[in-house]
Amino acid sequence: MGRVIIVGGGQAGCALAARLRSQGHEGEIVLFGAEPVPPYQRPPLSKAYLTGEMAEARLYLRPEEWYADEGIALRTGTPVTAVDPAARTVSAGGETLSYDALALTTGAVPRTLAPEQGGDLGGVYTLRTLADVDRMAPAFAQGARALIVGGGYIGLEAAAVARKLGVAVTLIEMAPRILQRVAAPETSDYVRALHRRHGVEILEGTALDRLTGAAGQVAGAVLTGGREVAADFVLVGAGVLPDVALAQGAGLESKGGIVVDDRCRTSAPGVWAAGDCTVFPFRGGLVRLESVQNAIDQAECAADNILGADRAYDPVPWFWSDQYDVKLQIAGLNLGYDRVVTRPGAAEGQASTWYYRGDTLLAVDAMNEARTYMVAKRLIEGGKSPAAEVVADPATDLKALLRA
């Protein structure tokens, strides 16, 4: 294998480059990133970095000299503007570069509000990049009032940070409940109660009609139903869209994400893809995951296959979220569940939600239950499905289920 070009200097792109080298690839690696900084981890952006507890330097996945040491040509601030799969070239920074293999790790972009809704007012933010957080951080000041649009993980994590910093928070979710897309009502109930205890006003089944402002700066919002809320700033946490622009321009198949097969191959020969930008085969359909686990594991699988391994990507997904003093850990993917049982924890604030399809255990949400999470992950990895009634019984020793 000669020159590998990677487009997207994020979690997946960095993992892919590292894996190529660790698996013995000796050819050229060029890693293009549109952002002006080297690859960094995003999870702390809505957690410890936003509170100011984590320094910027700790966000970076690798020290800058690592790229030179590994012979990886890192081209930050250089978006790739076109791919020609027939000629096997990419265009970036006014140059055209040929490749032997190309990997797209372009990630996702946040949904924004239309200008008619006030999306272009000052003080309206989305939270995806380091630059986004640096822009919004000064607004998270004691006594400020925030409106958060969207009750998914990012909106909820930002709400927790805001409360910690003394910001008054109203969070609206247009679905009937927060976390509806990703969790069962039992987990939503737990998280809602947690935020209400910390003073967040959560309005479910409530959408934004429009933002209001004065002199180009947001001042509040009108919600569906007519209620008005005052806000010094607004965070739009309304989900992300896979960044498929480049892939579509190159004629690659895309269906809610760049379509890849279980080898991480796109529809064009010699072009692979990994991370948030892809949809891949899972349980008989195509899924898109937004997680560090998926970005790294799929990227490593793509790297192996670029080097000829012919390895299938068949993950047991996992994910986490930190809100206040609660660590939510998720093992597996609950997609297609038809039954849920809850297991009370030993101490206050501990609980877990177990998702089944028929008798098959699919996933577990563990709230402040690190040991339950570990056992659940191992059960799912091992294809073991303890009976739901057994799991729900607090007297059951979960670890013993691993030996069953």
- Residues found near ligand FAD in the complex (CB under 6 A): 7-13, 32-35, 42-43, 45-46, 79-80, 105-108, 127-128, 154, 243, 246, 275-277, 290-293, 295, 319-321
Among residues 74 and 154, whose Cβ is nearest to ligand FAD?
A: 154
Alpha carbon 61 to chain centroid distance? 16
Kindly state the smallest distance separating residue 55's Cβ from ligand FAD, in Å.
17
Instruction: State the greatest distance between any 2 C-alpha atoms of the chain, in Å, as a whole number.
Output: 66
Q: Which residue has the tokens 């209001």?
A: 212
Kindly state the smallest distance separating residue 235's Cβ from ligand FAD, in Å.
11
Among residues 14 and 223, whose Cβ is nearest to ligand FAD?
A: 14
- Dihedrals φ, ψ of 301, to 5°? -65, -40
- Dihedrals φ, ψ of 174, to 5°? -75, -25
Kindly state the smallest distance separating residue 60's Cβ from ligand FAD, in Å.
13
Sequence-distant (6+) residues with CB within 8 A of 211 are 113, 117, 118, 119, 121, 124, 218, 220, 221, 234
Among residues 87 and 400, whose Cβ is nearest to ligand FAD?
A: 87
Kindly state the smallest distance separating residue 162's Cβ from ligand FAD, in Å.
14
Instruction: State the number of CA atoms in the 13 A half-sphere of 16 facing the CB.
Output: 37
Sequence-distant (6+) residues with CB within 8 A of 5 are 30, 32, 90, 97, 99, 101, 102, 103
Cβ pair 3, 30 in contact under 8 A: yes
Kindly state the smallest distance separating residue 401's Cβ from ligand FAD, in Å.
26
Q: Which residue has the tokens 């501990």?
A: 350
Kindly state the smallest distance separating residue 243's Cβ from ligand FAD, in Å.
5
Kindly state the smallest distance separating residue 105's Cβ from ligand FAD, in Å.
5
Among residues 35 and 232, whose Cβ is nearest to ligand FAD?
A: 35
The token duo for 19 is 């894996």
Cβ pair 62, 37 in contact under 8 A: no
Among residues 128 and 263, whose Cβ is nearest to ligand FAD?
A: 128
- With CA atoms as reference, report the closest residue to 213 among 189, 193, 233: 233
What is the 8-class DSSP label of residue 181? T
Among residues 223 and 277, whose Cβ is nearest to ligand FAD?
A: 277
Determine the residue with CB nearest ligand FAD.
Answer: 10
Among residues 11 and 385, whose Cβ is nearest to ligand FAD?
A: 11
